[in-house]
Structure 1
Amino acid sequence: MQTAVGPTRQLLVLLMALTALGEISTQLIIPSLSAIEWVMAAKPGSSLLALSVFVAAFGLGQLVLGPLSDRLGRRPILLAGLLVYLAATSWMLLANSMGEFIGARALQGLGACSALVMARAIVRDVWQAQAGPALAMTVIGMLCAIVVSPALGGLLTRLGGWQAPILLVLIVASVIVVVVLSRYRESNLVRDPQAGRLSTLAANYADLLKDRSFCALALTLAFTYGAMFAVIAGSSAVYIGLLHLSPSQYGMTISAIVAALIAGALFTQRTITRLGPNKIVSLGVSLVALGGIATLVTHQILGLSVLGLSLPQVLVTLGGGMVLPASVAGAVIPNAHRAGLAAGFMGFAQMAGATICGLLLTTLQDGSAWAMVMLNASFAFVAWSIFHLLQRQTRRATALP
């Protein structure tokens, strides 16, 4: 008979690495996007599609893999996804055209999504009702990787060309596979034989989405991450192409901006048990909206500059560091019997926001920073509006006799 997996520091470190894998896959290669376009004789801006298809596959895969792990267990789904990830990353290294590179990125996103959704579900399995601080710690690990990755990616691109960051991703993923095989036992000991069946999947999601509080958290996460993704995806062209920073200078600038994500996540990790997820999301999304609107106003009044773009974005990332872990904790903790389903939908919502924003950015780009700044502010304001509207409706419904 299987015994329960205990909450250990070693397991938490592994879950932090799994949570970070998807972001590392994107952040490391962003400084090399221009080089990839040049090597593959692709038109400028075409590499943005490689970012968008990754997040689309990353999000859609979680809708199936999350509930499927409620049925089959976390370990087999995690290992299968990681093997797909390794194959796709190897394909990226061998790609000879932008179309081939984009196809490999889509497959890589599908493999990477298993790491994120399984990490979140495993946290709920092991830490149970006290999962909030542990979920925040996994996000802190992911954010530390985001802070380091752009600068490291820029340095690797300068020293070893566009393939160097991808090779590092391949090495990191290989190490994670070895650790999962040797250190992680199955944590989902109470499985649902009906979970993950196509005949019941839509009904299960419909039942989950009847909860207004869950919807508020999912939509807030989607639009908050969309606001941040506008800058993640568009910043390379703006900082390097328009503001004439070198790839390494760009990487250091983005790393400084996203460092505020860690501060927000640390605040969440230390206060979520006392304040609760909803209060932290409310505070965080307010900072996101304030930062997005300040970026737009600064751009319109003072024009484009490194400081005028970067400083207001610190508010966006500070608030985002609160929203990401708190919204996931608020959605997953009450759904112990379907942790994979809830974690999968939250991951899908996060990536859906990024995908929609990425597609809009690709469509609206005109060679200036306007599309990036406008989408950042718009998604941030919508996130704030939706959260407070749905929370108000939830309170009214609860107050009714």
Structure 2
Amino acid sequence: MILSTLMAFASISTDVYLPALPAMGAALHASDGAVELTISGYLVGFSLGQLLWGPIGDRYGRRLPIAVGLALFAIGAAGCALSTSAPMLIGWRALQAVGACASVVLARAMVRDLYTGHRAAQMMSTLMTVMAVAPLVGPSLGSLIMYVASWRAIFWTLVGVGLATLVALNWLPETLPHERRNPTPLGRALRGYGELLTDRRVLGYAGAGGFFYGAMFAYIAGTPFAYITYYHVPPPHYGLLFGGGIVGIMVTNQINSRIVKRFGSDRLLKAGTLCAAVAGVVLGLNAKTAWGGLSGLVIPLFLFLSATGFIVANSIAGALARAPGRAGAVSALVGSIHYGTGIIGSALVGLFADGTPWPMAAIIAAMSVGSLLCALLFLPAVTGKPT
């Protein structure tokens, strides 16, 4: 449960304040695009911060860096609550992200410390099913807080979540004993990322997950305005629509954990990217032609999100298996690529925002096709039974 909470910090930090985006823009006298950049600013810190925490976790263990990251997360959330302008909010969101990513990248490494092969993919899917509760209840919780208080109270709530998780860390054992730690100096370890990037399969796993994350964060940045502003969906109902997609993610993660031993993680990864690409293209066509209205967005978005269960866990487990002695660094590199592409996806939604769902849909379609191409071009063809 603690590992699931740590892995959920990316979702906790973003999903809970999605219903407040329009209200934040009005309170800070900022445009829709500027407010959407608070998500991009968060992703910048989250992406770059992972590259630092990975080697630190390989050298000093998992628990201490996670504790430091949780403290930074709480400080950043408090700064967001006290912000008086959009640029200030973006800056504090970046600091919050640097702290949050320590929990995510090192929780993934802890899974690799304990499990290998299809068992690692199973455990990753199980953890993601549990952590999916955060985005499931996040928008609804944010809407409730907005109803009884204001958007600033959302960030004070995140301060409490960070501090509570820091206390819970006392019950989490260290999974990387001293004899298995990597004594490589941090500077050299950081330069080792270039070596990892020469591995074609690491690029395939990271690229498939990365493009999918770009589409996912285009969805996160674009749906509040597509649903609430364009189609006039009440904020509480937005939470229900958002939660429906999370249910799809939870179901497919459970399916993945049950069948990955039989079919293999690479085969399921490729199937997931194909489903996401088809759903993304249909979404783009519907948004361009306005076919189906709100349902024309909701249905393909649900199918797109449901592919998460076959893409994320398998792509992470596959990459971690390539360098088990550097699990922290591999986890950091993959996570940085994932969220780096997420930066592009969410930023493009803000950059091309035109008051319609089309920019969001077009970006999701393009990124989903990119995910499929990475899986097909960089990973070998799957033959025979999985090992």
Q: Shared topology, TM-score over 0.5?
A: yes
The 2-side partners of 1:200 and 1:188 are apart by 17
CA contact under 8 A between 1:227 and 1:375: conserved in structure 2?
yes
Number of matched residues? 379
Aligned with 2:319 (options 328, 331, 339): 331
SS in structure 2 at match of 1:206: helix
For the residues of structure 1 that align with 2:30 and 2:306, how far apart are their CA atoms?
A: 35
What is the alpha-carbon distance in structure 2 between the residues aligned to residue 46 and residue 247 of structure 1?
A: 20
Structure 2 equivalent of residue 319 of structure 1: 307
Structure 2: runs of 5+ lacking an equivalent: 383-387
Counterpart residue number, 2:385 = none
* Aligned counterpart for 1:167 among listed residues 153, 156, 174: 156
> Post-superposition shift, 1:206?
2.2
From 259, 277, 290, the equivalent of 2:278 is 290
Q: Matches of 1:329 and 1:373 in 2, distance apart?
A: 29
Q: 1:338 to 1:48 in 2, by over 3 A?
A: same
**Aligned pairs (5 A) from 1:59-208:** 59-129=47-117, 130-180=119-169, 182-189=170-177, 190-194=180-184, 197-202=186-191, 204-208=192-196
Distance 1:278 1:395, change over 3 A: closer
- What is aligned with 2:244? 256
How far apart are residue 128 of structure 1 and its match? Answer: 4.4
Q: Does 1:50 align with 2:30?
A: no
Do the aligned partners of 2:215 and 2:363 also contact (CA within 8 Å) in 1? yes
Change (3 A) 1:94 1:304: farther
Q: Deviations over 1:294-334 (max 9, x none)?
A: 11122234446221100011111111221011111111134
Aligned-pair RMSD on alpha carbons? 1.6
Which deviates the most, 224-233 or 120-129? 120-129
Question: How far apart, CA to CA, are the structure 2 residues paired with 1:176 and 1:44?
Answer: 32
Q: Does the 8 Å contact 1:28/1:166 carry over to 2? A: no
Deviations 1:25-63 (A, max 9, x none): 100001001111111222333111110010111011111
CA distance in structure 1 between the partners assigned to 2:93 and 2:159 by the alignment: 13
Conserved 8 A contact 2:269-2:311: yes
CA distance in 1, matches of 2:303, 2:277: 9
CA contact (8 A) 1:132 1:333 kept: no
| Unpaired stretches in structure 1, ≥5 consecutive residues | 1-12, 397-401
**Under a length normalisation based on structure 2, what TM-score does the superposition of the two structures give?**
0.94
Distance 1:34 1:45 in 2: 11
Cα distance in 2 between the residues matched to 1:199 and 1:145:
36
Q: CA deviation at 1:395?
A: 5.1
For 2:314, the aligned partner's letter is A
Is residue 290–residue 315 contact of structure 1 (8 Å, CA) maintained in 2? no
Question: Hey, what's the Cα distance between the residues in 1 that align with 2:38 and 2:292?
Answer: 26
Cα displacement (A) at 1:210: 2.1
Q: After TM superposition, give the deviation of residue 200 of structure 1 in Å.
A: 4.2
Per the TM alignment, residue 382 of structure 1 is displaced from its structure 2 partner at its CA by 1.3
Q: Distance in 1 between matches of 2:261 and 2:319?
A: 14
SS at match of 2:154: helix
The one of 213, 217, 222 aligned to 2:201: 213
Equivalence for 1:22: 10
Q: Which deviates more, 105-114 or 343-352?
A: 343-352
- Distance, in Å, in 1 between the alignment partners of 2:9 and 2:98 is 12
Matched, 1:361 2:349: yes
Query: Is contact 2:81–2:153 with CA below 8 Å preserved after alignment?
Result: no
Q: TM-score, normalised by structure 1?
A: 0.91
Say whether the 8 Å CA contact 1:278–1:326 is kept in structure 2: yes
Partner Cα distance (1:390, 1:335) in 2:
17
Answering whether residue 249 of structure 2 is matched by residue 266 of structure 1, we say: no
Code of the aligned partner of 1:97: S
* 1:279-300: CA deviation from partner (whole Å, max 9, x where unpaired): 1111111110011011112223
Stretch deviating more after TM superposition (224-233 or 123-132): 123-132
Equivalent residue number for residue 275 of structure 1: 263
Structure 1 residues 36, 136: closer, same or farther in 2, change over 3 A?
A: same
Matching residue within 13, 24, 38 for 1:36 = 24
* Structure 2 residue matching 1:210: 3-state secondary structure: coil
Instruction: Determine the C-alpha separation between the residues in 2 that align with 1:53 and 1:304.
Output: 33
**SS of structure 2 residue aligned to 1:192:** coil
C-alpha distance in structure 2 between counterparts of 1:319 and 1:131, whole Å: 19
CA distance in 1, matches of 2:153, 2:247: 24
Deviations 1:128-158 (A, max 9, x none): 4532221112211222211221122122212
User: Which one of 343, 365, 375 corresponds to residue 377 of structure 1?
Assistant: 365
CA shift in 2, pair 1:301/1:99, >3 Å:
closer
User: What percent of counterpart residues are identical?
Assistant: 29
AA of the residue aligned to 1:172: V
